[in-house]
Amino acid sequence: MSVGFAKKIGMTRLFLEGKSRAVTVLEFKENFVLQKKVVDKDGYNAIQVGSVKKKKGTAPRIGHVRKYSSQDFDLRFIGEFRDFEVSEDKSIFDINDFEANDVLDISGSAFGRGFAGVVKWHSFRGQPASRGHDHERAPGSIGSRWPQRVLPGRKMAGHMGTNTVTLKNVKVLAVDPELGLLFVNGSVPGSNSNYLKIRKVEAMESK
């Protein structure tokens, strides 16, 4: 089992067994094992890992990393992976923890699409364009006289995208240990150069 943060490089194609496969390239550098949380002490089981060294870090974060990993640097990404157990002697996850045919759960932020109206965001039909209507993409009525407020969950214009998306059971098609690259099947959330949380799952969980 392995977890950590991986950088999305982009998409390309690989020829495997005579077939062209669309793949996403992920760069997986060293991920340092930090805090290990247990039910008896913290109320839940989890492992905390960090990745990507920072040139200038804050003293509290450096102290936290030093306390649990004996490293004197700050880490750009620190996150938890719940219900995950690791052996006591495990201190680093790297590219060697992965191999072809592994199955991953991948989480990341979706594309940010700025401020969007209801037609683009929620696929509203819009108002009729005939008879001189000048607000074809207007949302229409958003409520009645009572309760004189907009009810939560009303579909309106707003900030579209940047929500967290998780893809389950993504298959690793190939691994390049020399370059530290993972080639996973299909597309994954987020823009190029974004960092994703990946977690290797048991093969029995795959479809």
Tell the burial category of 53 from Cβ atoms under 10 Å away from its Cβ (0-12, 13-18, 19+). middle
Q: Strand, coil or helix: what is 93?
A: strand
Confidence of residue 207 (pLDDT cuts 50, 70, 90): very low
SS3 content of the chain, % helix, strand, coil (to 5): 15, 45, 45
pLDDT, the chain, mean: 90
> What's the Cα-to-Cα distance from 42 to each of 35, 47, 50, 63, rounded to whole Å?
11, 11, 19, 20
Confidence of residue 199 (pLDDT cuts 50, 70, 90): very high
The per-residue pLDDT for range 134-152, each reduced to its tens digit, is 888 999 888 778 888 888 9
pLDDT reported for residue 57: 86
pTM over 0.85: no
The per-residue pLDDT for range 24-69, each reduced to its tens digit, is 999 999 999 998 888 888 888 899 999 999 888 899 989 988 888 8
Give dist(CA 136, CA 140) in Å, integer.
10
